[in-house]
Every structure is written in C-alpha cells, then in structure tokens.
Amino acid sequence: MMQLKQRCYKFSVEIINFIGLISDKKIYFSIIDQLIRSSTSVGANIVEARASSSKKDFIRFYEIALKSSNETGYWISLIKDTFLQNNERISELKSENEEISKIIAASILTMKKNL
C-alpha cells in the first residue's frame, strides 16, 4: 500500500493535471485556485507533521490536513456539479479524496487514543 505522504502527493499532481483540462473561463478561476490550494495543503501538512515538536503538534498537522481534505471535497463537488465535461474523472478524484480523508481521520483517532 502506498504511504499516505506519497498518495497525497500523487493526488495533488492528479488535481493539477486535471485542472489543465478545465475551461479557462474567468468564472472558474477562483474555484480552481481554491482547489489547488486545498488539495496541495493536504500533503504539505502531512509532510510538515514529520517535523513537529510533540505528539499534540503532530496530531494538529493531521487535523489541518483533514480540514484541507474536507475543503477539497467541497471544491471537487462544486466543479462536478457545474462543469459538465470529464465527469468520470471528477468522480475518480472525489473518491480518492474521500479515501484520503478517511485514512487521515482514522489516523487522528488512533493517535488521540494513544496520547
């Protein structure tokens, strides 16, 4: 199984590549910007957790990653419901984001139990 850090990185790359397919209409600029920010933040916070100074700090980075993943799900859903092309690809990205969110959430619960 792919490590979470690698999976988040791969997901960020997939989002960036997908965005290249989206219309360049001005209406999508803000949504695309938010999606890039939130999706790349997930992996960045997982990586940042490795340099944390305590277990509580480590958990906090995972909580931020989970929030970013939840936000990413919102932007993906918004694109899915407003952008009619590549719906299959959008569904795949949405599914991968949901799986990453579940992994992060389960990790947080486990870490909090072990505090």
Give per-residue pLDDT as tens, 30-82.
999 999 999 999 999 999 999 999 999 999 999 999 999 999 999 999 988 88
Angle, helices 87-113/55-82, rounded to nearest 10 degrees: 160
Question: For 82, what's the count of Cα atoms within 13 Å in the CB-facing half-sphere?
Answer: 13
Please check whether residue 67 is in contact with residue 44, taking contact to mean a CB–CB distance below 8 angstroms: no
The percent of residues above 90 in pLDDT, for the chain, comes to 74
User: Could you tell me the residue ranges of all domains in the chain?
Assistant: 4-113
Q: The domain 4-113: what is its CATH number? A: 1.20.1440.60
- Whole-number mean pLDDT of the chain? 91
